[in-house]
Amino acid sequence: MSDVRYTDTHEWVRVEGAEAVIGITDYAQTQLGDVVYVELPAVGKRIERGKEAGVIESVKAASEIYAPVSGEVTAVNKALTEEPARVNTDAEGEGWFFRMRLANPAEVNQLLDASAYNKLVEGLA
């Protein structure tokens, strides 16, 4: 999908109007293994780009989730509280983490497009 941008820490961002939907990439969930817990930010929390927004835990490891853009959290995926494995089955769809109102929409343009992200992942293989 061309409307999705990526970070080099394996988060993705899909802009929908003045908001962005954020999650981790399919590559990241594959590396983590079975996800058992996701800690999401509180609605209303302001997060700066590059700062920790949450935590994801798997059977292998715990990892921070970083905000790929700055803004205010407007919604979280409550389904992940009951079923964190959704991240494994649909990381870039139903496994989204949170939505945020963009503080600076231009930040999205500084992220990797799909082609650049795929090259990054290929370099890690």
Domains and CATH numbers, the chain: 4-124 (2.40.50.100)
Give the per-residue pLDDT at 3.
Answer: 84
Would you write out the chain's pLDDT as a tens digit for each of its 125 residues?
458 999 999 999 999 988 999 999 999 999 999 999 999 999 999 999 999 999 999 999 999 999 999 999 999 999 999 999 999 999 999 999 999 999 999 999 999 999 999 999 998 87
Q: Provide the strand spans (E) within the chain.
A: 4-6, 11-16, 19-24, 35-39, 46-47, 52-58, 62-66, 71-76, 98-102
Pick from 1, 9, 2: nearest CA to 124: 9
Q: Do residues 38 and 87 touch, judged by C-beta distance below 8 A?
A: yes
What predicted TM-score, i.e. pTM, was given to this entire model? Answer: 0.93
Residue 109: name the closest of 3, 36, 32, 33 by CA.
Answer: 3
